[in-house]
Structures are given as C-alpha cells and as structure tokens.
Amino acid sequence: MERELSLNYSRCISANPKAAFIRCVSVSAAPLSHMFVTFVSAQQGEVESGTRRKVKRLLSFQRYCHASRLLRGLVPHTPGSLHLLDDDYLGQAAHMLSKVGTWNFDIFLFDRLTNGNSLVTLMCHLFNVCGLIHHFQLDMVKLHRFLGMVQEDYHSQNPYHNAVHAADVTQAMYCYLKEPKLAEQLSPLDVFLGLMAAAAHDVDHPGVNQPFLIKTRHHLASLYQNTSVLESHHWRSTVGMLRESGLLSHLPADISQDMEQQLGSLILATDISRQNEFLLTFREHLDNQDLDLQLASHRHFMLQIALKCADICNPCRVWELSRQWSERVCEEFYRQGDLERKFDLEISPLCNQQADSVPAIQIGFISYIVEPLFEEWHRFTEPSLLSQTMMGHLHKNKARWSCLRCAHTPSDVQAHSHADEPNPKGGGGEGENIP
C-alpha cells in the first residue's frame, strides 16, 4: 500500500483507509443554507425564469433544446447525426466490430470511425450478434430511435461521463458476458438487461458528483432524497426514453415493467457508496461456494457485479487507453473543483488541481476500489484468460502511476497530461468522483 496519499486522502483517511477513500468520493458535507446552483446555468452563466427552470427539470439537461422534435418521435438532424445502420458497418469500423470481443478494443478510434456514433453503432451490432433483436421481436426503427436518445442524452462536453464512456463500459460488459463461467448460464433476458444497463448507466450525467448536487441543493438531490441521486436519475431517464420510443410497447405490461425494475437494480448498483456492500456479498458467495447461476436472483447479482467491474475497468486496460481515461476523469474532477472555487464552495476531495495529481488519484482509486473488486472477479472466473490479462494490466498500470508520482511534481504531471490531451474541451470517462 502506498505510504503517501494526496492531501485530500490524508484528510479523509482514518482507521479504515478503504472506507475512508469511498467516503472521500461519495459523501458530502451538510448542504449550504439558502443556496441553489444549477450546474448547467452556472456553466453557461444564464439566469432562468422560474417557469423555464421547471420545464427543464422535467426533461434532461441535454435534451431540453430538442424537446419538441423528440416528443414528435424525430431525432434532430445535425452534421454527423445518426445515419442508416448499413453505413455503420463499412470500412474500418466494420473491421473493428469483428473484434469487438477482444480486450484491447480501442473505443476512442471506434468513436472517430463512426463519426461520434460509437454507442448506437456498438449496441445495434451487439443486439444483432447476440440474437436479441430476433428473440424480443424488436422494431429496428424504435431501437434506433431509443439508442439515439440515449446517446444524445450523454453530455459530449464532459471529459469522462459521456457517450464514449458508455460505449466503453458496454464493450467491457459484452466481454464479461462472454466469460465461460457466465455465458453458459445466461438467458437472452440477462444479456439484454446487461447490455442495456451498461449503455444507459450514466445517461444525462451532469459532470459533477452527488455531493456537489447535495450541497448546492440541486432539485435532483431533493427529488431522490440525497440517496443514489445520479444513479436514480440515470435509471428514471432510461425508463422515460424506453416508454417514449415505444421499444418495449409490444410486450405485455407486466413483463416490460419487470424489465424496467431490473434495469434500475443494475444501474443503482453502480453507486460507488455501495462498493463495500457488493464486495462483501460477492466475497461471501465465493468463500461459501454457494453461487447457483441457475437461480435468476444469483444471475442478476452477477450482472450487478459485472456492470460494476465494467464501470471501473479503465485501469485494467492497456496503458495507452487506461492513461487517456485517467486523465479525462481527473479533468472532470478539476472542472468541478474550479466551479466550486468560483462559487466559493469548499473544494471536494480529488477536485483540487493544485493538490491532487493524476498519479496520486489513480493510485488511490486502484488500491481501494479497483483491486479489491477485480481480485474477487479473478476468483470467480477461476481465473479466465481475460481475467489474467486484466490483472496483468492493472498491476503494470499501478506501477507506472507510482513511477510518475515519484518522478514528477503535481504541476509537472498536469502539464504532461494536458500536453497529451488532443482536445481539452472535447468529450472522451465514474463515480461520485470515480469512473
């Protein structure tokens, strides 16, 4: 374990460092009195009338401007907007899709090849190869409309929590669903739910964490009573788009409602504050050897674990991909810190660019969040070739971050980070400050 953590780690760490790290990234101080800051308005410097603000609250952050067209069932036409499925399978993108089940899949390249439509293209392909379109008799127009809504509801201006992150998590989830220990037991419904939850798990993420929403008295924090605020919003937004698109309207009401509830259970499992809850239950099952994947409840639990792994798997990728995600998520943290500084709020842990370096943040994240979960996943797979590959990358990446932290001052590391970033204002990786 690293002896020195960043300034914010030392401020949080007590007798239980693992729990302390989770508290650092998921727990807020008491809300500020008589203060409400709308994140989007703060970014844009706009003051909205009460009526307009209420309308915006009913819709997503992202889709307000397109509401009239979307409610008529039309996808807004913009340069590079969604196009016919056949076009997505041409050239290099088609070649990449033929290798979508490999762990070195470069989602950044795939997003460029699909003109920013990586999530829609990937999901349509996976639904096809997994036989889900035929099994559930899905209408392709409705499916494309739903996926277009989901992709559009991700905020492209977020460095990390954007549609490319969703596509990356979906691709990882597909790899996990193919693990022999799981694949032979999963039903088509399990696969459908796993991929759908991965694609939509961060939809309409505002680019700030739950503590920020709580201390600024954001309406979402009030709506969900300060508990799993973002995850609840991601789930409810997904349900709204499912119903608006009519994707499941041909199914009996009780079946579609059950699917919505199971999607919610999966998305809510990504709340980082529940990390220990799931980790301890997973460990107990493995210790007792009582996982029975013929039971629907046990399969659902393993889908939750797989989604949690997919959501934080960036440190398990090859260095070239892992580093990009690390820099993007830290950039998003720093933007929140800048926003807090602008409004004279206490800067959240891990969000102070002057105090929290990328290597220090990543070492803490790997040590207290990623390694414990993937060590148990490694046990579950007994271990598989994919799991061995991921653990190898994880250990190498942690060692590289340790070397970078020793070799550079925080300011040097940040300068290096921004020099490597091709477009600091573009999209490109969870938590309540964790990927």
In a domain, 113, yes or no: yes
| Residue 266 to residue 274: CA distance in whole angstroms | 12
pLDDT at residue 433 in the model: 44
pLDDT for 201-236, tens place per residue? Answer: 999 999 999 999 999 999 999 999 999 999 999 999
User: What domain range includes position 223?
Assistant: 7-64+84-420
> What one-character-per-residue DSSP string does 334-401 give?
HHHHHHHHHTTPPPPTT--TTT--HHHHHHHHIIIIIHHHHHHHHHHHSS-HHHHHHHHHHHHHHHHH
Pick the more confident residue, 62 or 233. 233
Question: Which residue type does 255 have?
Answer: I
Name the range with the highest mean pLDDT among 9-23, 126-140, 400-414: 126-140
| Least trusted range by pLDDT, from 61-65, 170-174, 182-186 | 61-65
pLDDT at residue 310 is higher than 60? yes
- Residue-wise pLDDT tens digits, 377-398: 999 999 999 999 999 999 999 9
Looking at the structure of the chain, the number of domains it has is: 1
Residue 63: per-residue pLDDT: 52
Q: What is the model's pLDDT at position 91?
A: 83
Q: What are phi and psi of 301, to 5 degrees?
A: -60, -40
Whether 425 is in a domain gets the answer no
- DSSP three-state, residue 160: coil
CA–CA distance, 310 with 260 (Å, rounded to integer): 20
Instruction: State the burial class of residue 244 (Cβ atoms within 10 Å of its Cβ: 0-12, 13-18, 19+).
Output: middle
Tokens 């797989």 — which residue? 306
Nearest to 122 by CA among 161, 75, 63, 163: 163
The rounded distance, in Å, linking the Cα atoms of 32 and 125 is 47
pLDDT tier at 29 (50, 70, 90 boundaries)?
very low
Please check whether residue 1 lies inside any domain of the structure.
Answer: no
pLDDT at 90: 67
Report pLDDT for 58: 46
Binding-site sequence positions for Zn(2+): 165, 201-202, 311
pLDDT average, residue stretch 352-356? 96
Mean pLDDT of 288-307: 98
106 falls within a domain:
yes
Residues labelled catalytic: 161
Residue 337 has pLDDT above 50, yes or no: yes
Task: Tell me the HSE value of 297 on the side-chain side, using a 13 A CA sphere.
Answer: 2
Q: Quick check: is 2 in a domain?
A: no
pTM above 0.85, yes or no: no
**Residue 172 has what pLDDT?**
99
Task: Answer whether residue 66 shows pLDDT above 90.
Answer: no
Q: Taking residues 93-121, what's their average pLDDT?
A: 97
Radius of gyration of the chain (CA): 21
Residue numbering of the annotated binding site: 161-165, 201-202, 311, 362
Q: Is the confidence at residue 428, as pLDDT, over 70?
A: no
CATH code of 381's domain: 1.10.1300.10
In a domain, 253, yes or no: yes
pLDDT of residue 87: 53
Is the residue at 78 inside a domain?
Answer: no
Q: Which residue has the tokens 């603000």?
A: 53
Binding-site annotation, residues for AMP: 161-165, 202, 311, 362
Look at residue 43 and tell me whether its pLDDT is greater than 90.
no
The answer to whether position 71 is within a domain reads no
Angle between helices 163-177 and 188-200 in degrees, nearest 10? 160
